[in-house]
């Protein structure tokens, strides 16, 4: 996109593919420098996909047209008929539009020296208040990992370079490496398991090994399960 000296957006083109299309939104690096962000020679401004609308304005745009696609129709219409301004930003940001990028971004944030500090004194990140109990860790070994609230991690377990989500229950002698464990939406009682006919509780059972995986919320993984890409496959099998 392009803007004028007041920061108002004057041009926008979604995913330009040809040199001619790129020229439509090319910006003088000096203009970027003058607006408080070091251009470092860059002459294109990319949208991070974060938009703030006045509700009445958005409703008006949606009800008075038959547009459906945001980037190709609704946002360009906003620029033509409304005052749309941009905020130049040059801090940490990642496009997590693919499973691979989502996975990599999570593991990068779990590193000892992450690209973005979640606990920075001048701009800490707060999660939504859920009032969960603190996580209980009983003799586990955890390295370069993030552990959310309400988890129970039993003795002998090893967790390395991973993210463990809310309410996750991990049994004894489990190994988790390079993985994102999404956790659970609720705590499950024995009565609920019986009522639903479940024989495996939510969480990860004793002796299980998980490497290089994303485990969705509310999953049930039993004892001594092995989820490891030993073959080194680059894609999932069909119909998996």
| Domain spans of the chain, in order of start | 2-81, 101-227
The pLDDT value recorded for residue 70 is 85
- State pLDDT tens for residues 42-51: 999 988 888 8
* CA 145/CA 154 separation, integer angstroms: 16
Q: Which pLDDT score is estimated for 238?
A: 53
- Section 25-33 average pLDDT: 91
pLDDT of residue 178 exceeding 90: yes
Res. 202: pLDDT tops 60: yes
Q: Report pLDDT for 240.
A: 45
**pLDDT at position 126, please?**
86
- Average of per-residue pLDDT values in the chain: 91
Bridge partners for 141 per DSSP? 158
Which one has a higher pLDDT value, 169 or 97? 169
- DSSP string of 34-92? HTTS--TT-------S-----HHHHHHHHHSS----IIIIIHHHHHHHS--B-----S-
pLDDT, tens digit (0-9, with 9 covering 90-100), for 54-73: 999 889 888 888 888 888 88
CB 166 within 8 A of CB 136: no
Among residues 139, 181, 152, the alpha carbon closest in space to that of 164 is found at: 181
pLDDT tens-digit profile of 122-176? 888 888 888 999 999 999 999 999 999 999 999 999 999 999 999 999 999 999 9
Per-residue model confidence (pLDDT) at position 141: 98
Average pLDDT over residues 3-19: 89
* pTM of the complete model: 0.80
Per-residue model confidence as pLDDT tens digits over 76-86: 888 888 999 99
So what's the architecture of 101-227 in CATH? 3 Solenoid (2.160)
Long-range CB pairs of 91-97, under 8 A, 24+ apart, other chains included:
91/116, 92/116, 93/48, 95/49
Res. 102 pLDDT band, cuts 50 70 90: very high
């Amino acid at each position: 996109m392009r803007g004028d000296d007041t920061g108002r957006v004057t041009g926008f083109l979604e995913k330009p593919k040809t040199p001619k299309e790129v020229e439509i939104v090319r910006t003088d690096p000096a203009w970027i420098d003058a607006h408080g962000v070091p251009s470092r020679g860059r002459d294109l401004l990319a949208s991070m996909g974060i938009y703030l609308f006045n509700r009445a304005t958005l409703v008006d745009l949606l009800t008075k047209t038959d547009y459906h696609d945001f980037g190709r129709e609704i946002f360009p219409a906003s620029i033509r008929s409304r005052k749309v301004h941009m905020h130049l930003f040059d801090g940490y940001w990642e496009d997590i539009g693919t499973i691979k990028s989502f996975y990599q971004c999570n593991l990068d944030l779990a590193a000892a020296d992450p690209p973005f500090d979640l606990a920075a004194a001048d701009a800490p990140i707060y999660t939504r208040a859920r009032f969960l109990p603190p996580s209980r860790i009983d003799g586990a070994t955890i390295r370069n990992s993030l552990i959310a609230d309400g988890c129970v991690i039993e003795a002998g377990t090893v967790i390395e370079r991973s993210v463990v989500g809310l309410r996750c229950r991990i049994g004894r002698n489990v190994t988790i490496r390079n993985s994102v464990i999404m956790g659970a939406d609720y705590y499950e009682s024995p009565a609920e398991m019986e009522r639903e006919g479940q024989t495996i509780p939510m969480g990860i059972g004793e002796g299980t090994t998980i490497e290089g995986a994303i485990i969705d919320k509310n999953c049930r993984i039993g004892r001594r399960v092995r989820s490891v890409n030993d073959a080194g496959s680059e894609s999932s099998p069909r119909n998996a």
